[in-house]
Structure 1
Amino acid sequence: MSTKTYTLHTARSKNNCPNCFGTDGLEFTFFQDEIETLFYKKPVKQIEEKLYCHTCTTIIYPVNWTEDIERVYEYNKKIAETNKHNLQVKPLFYIVLIAAIILIALSIYFLMNAL
Structure 2
Amino acid sequence: MKQKTHTLHTARSKNNCPTCFGADGLEFTFTQEEKETPFFKKPALEIENKLFCHTCNNKIYPVNWTEDIERVFDYNKKIAETNKQYLKVKPLFYIMVVVALVIVAAGVYFLIPTL
TM-score greater than 0.5 by the shorter chain? yes
Q: CA deviation at 1:27?
A: 0.3
Bigger mean CA offset, 105-114 vs 78-87: 105-114
Matched, 1:89 2:89: yes
Aligned to 1:29: 29
Aligned to 2:60: 60
Q: Map Cα deviations across residues 52-109 of structure 1 (whole Å, 9 max, x no partner).
A: 0111111111001000000000111111111121111111000001111122223333
Aligned to 2:76: 76
Q: Which sections of structure 1, spanning at least 5 residues, go unmatched?
A: none
Matched, 1:41 2:41: yes
Aligned to 2:8: 8
Q: How many residues align?
A: 115
Runs of 4+, deviation exceeding 4 Å: none
Query: RMSD of the alignment, in Å?
Result: 1.4
Q: Percent identity?
A: 68
Q: Distance in 2 between matches of 1:114 and 1:36?
A: 45
Q: Distance in 2 between matches of 1:91 and 1:75?
A: 40
Q: TM-score, normalised by structure 1?
A: 0.92
Amino acid at match of 2:5: T
Q: TM-score, normalised by structure 2?
A: 0.92
Q: Which sections of structure 2, spanning at least 5 residues, go unmatched?
A: none
Q: Map Cα deviations across residues 3-58 of structure 1 (whole Å, 9 max, x no partner).
A: 11111110011111111111111100011111111111111111110000111111
Q: Distance in 1 between matches of 2:78 and 2:112?
A: 59
Q: Distance in 1 between matches of 2:9 and 2:98?
A: 39
